[in-house]
Structure 1
Amino acid sequence: MPFLSCGLGFSDFLNAEIKPRILLMGLRRSGKSSIQKVVFHKMSPSETLFLESTNKICREDVSSSSFVSFQIWDFPGQIDFFEPTFDYEMIFRGTGALIFVIDSQDDYMEAVSRLHLTVTRAYKVNTNINFEVFIHKVDGLSDDHKIQKQRDIHKRANDDLTDAGLQSINLSFYLTSIYDHSIFEAFSKVVQKLIPQLPTLENLLNIFISNSCIEKAFLFDVVSKIYIATDSSPVDMPTYELCCDMIDAIIDISCIYSLADTGSSLPYDKESTAIIRLNNTTVIYLKEVTKFLAVVCFLRTESFERKGLIDYNFHCFKSAIQEVFDVRLRIQKHRKLLSQRRWSKLTTSSGG
């Protein structure tokens, strides 16, 4: 039975059927585990210096909200997952996104070759995988050097695919570092592609801001600081960084001044709200949507004088989001039921 060759049981099969799978791959010491710890475990970047190299596949469920729900598989850089005893077809078949991490401060020729081998093998199994390339550890590079590295890696990787007759494969490239917010923004883009309801969420945000005189709005997963949707206007890095800093400040203050511990791992709750007034007549307004989701809005001071209208429109927006939630949950329950039946047939046929 193919699942057993990787030590997978019913719960793994079920998660693969319901939750998208994100694979973290790359050469040794490229920064894969550090990325996972910083984004999903709130580890400070300086602490990652003491992380040991990953020597086995580490699987983790990320399920902080109904939309941010997936599996992350962290692969050790030295593993040969194409060896005959390793069921790579099963792994790639259930994968939504493959993130390949390249250390920009190291010689990346070997990494580009491994990227090509990995992508071509995965694409033959599953043509629907999103291939994401993190050009990582760029914090020590100048802006010109960053652009040069990205252009060179982009050209080499795509030239290799063209030479192999696989120019239909689309690679997305991101400049990332755990020492700033670029890694959170890159992961946001990756996760958004795995959310089927993304167009609906974006449309709801567009309606909300157009009727509330809001300039920009994000729908954030508070735990990871991944934004799962934003309106149709462009995203600039300083605005995104302000959102992340605001979320950090709110959680830190809540930890200090919240009531007695209720057993919740997060002091942020469904009643949370915050207002920050900048010295450039801009107001940042955060409102909870669910326990783990919040909307962060940017608007002018004069627009915020109509706070009653904004709050009413937000209530309508929140109700619409809840309806999208309910539909997604019904779909997940249906998939779970189908997966249980599929697993039952699989084990029966294998036993027979």
Structure 2
Amino acid sequence: MCGIVAIHGEPDPRLGMRMLERIAHRGPDDQGNVELPDTWLGHRRLSIVDTEGGHQPLADQLGNQLVGNGEIYNHASLRTLFADDHWSTGSDNEVALRVIVDGGGHALAALRGMFALIAAGPGLPFLAARDPVGVKPLYWSRTPGSVLFASEMKAFDREHRDRVRPFPPGCFWTPRDGLQRFASAVPPQNQAPATRTDHEKAVRDDLIASVHLQMMGDEPPGVLLSGGLDSSIVAAIASRWCRERGHRLRTFSVGTVASADLAAARRVAAYLDTQHFERTYTAEDAIARVPDVVRAVEHYDPALLHSSVANHFLAELAARHTKAVLTGEGADELFAGYRYLRDFQDDNALDAELRRTVSTLHTLHTLRARPNE
């Protein structure tokens, strides 16, 4: 995961560097910053796309600059819309900058991906934005003279932390127009497929296409494999994609020695013939890891911490072998997988609850994917 920092208004480069240093763990590969009129931008990079040339802040020919955290899955197709443009890099974030310069904040609706990004320069106003689901973290704090942005709350100086708030997903902010929505996590209701067979085909096709889009890095990502339905389906799609290109998918699992999840993950990994890695831990190990997990996810909700401890071990294991992983996160919210949802008897009430849970993923469940320290 990359880390971004920005200050708009009365930027203090020393403050920016302090904030950037506090999230150094988010980007071990590279660091960059730039000072513009009324703006300071900083970036810590975990290089996934265009690992050689995607240094940030990214600049276009006019001097507009962008720092971003995330991946724009449809960046290759979006490039074709600007075929006459000069591209300095193969970075997906350079495409995001071009989209903003060309169409403003509302044009971000064309991006398919997960992102938190900030752009500024002579050809556009200062702009901060976050993806519609809020997969990528972004926080902001308004001070008397400036507006501060960062990927983690711990980046902010202590005197600013009481003002820190999550930046709302699917929105962009400019000093002139304030907060504007460009997309929502849950789209408006569309006409459902006519038959169950059509519906199943639509879900299957969309799921396969979604996984394929995320296999876009210079190195194919691995999969966090629990052995359950959600991650196993993702692993099955990703492993076929890898085999067709001469790669072998890497999968990762953790658990206690007697864990049913570990045993199930081994069976799935053997069936898919993945390069499988696993780690066991004890109850004492889990308890000892809690302070690190609280610091990483910046949350103390018991349900979140319970699952984040395992993810912390998983991230530690996966980081030894790859830079990016796919997970099965979000499936329970989309397909009513939680036990309490079985009590819903009214279809409209269930639909409303699923829309609520998907729209609030950024407040809790997507934070499980953050441990990387």
TM-score by length of 2: 0.25
Using CA pairs under 8 Å that are at least 6 residues apart, name the structure with larger relative contact order, 1 or 2: 1
Name the one with the larger helix percent. Answer: 1
Q: TM-score, normalised by structure 1?
A: 0.26
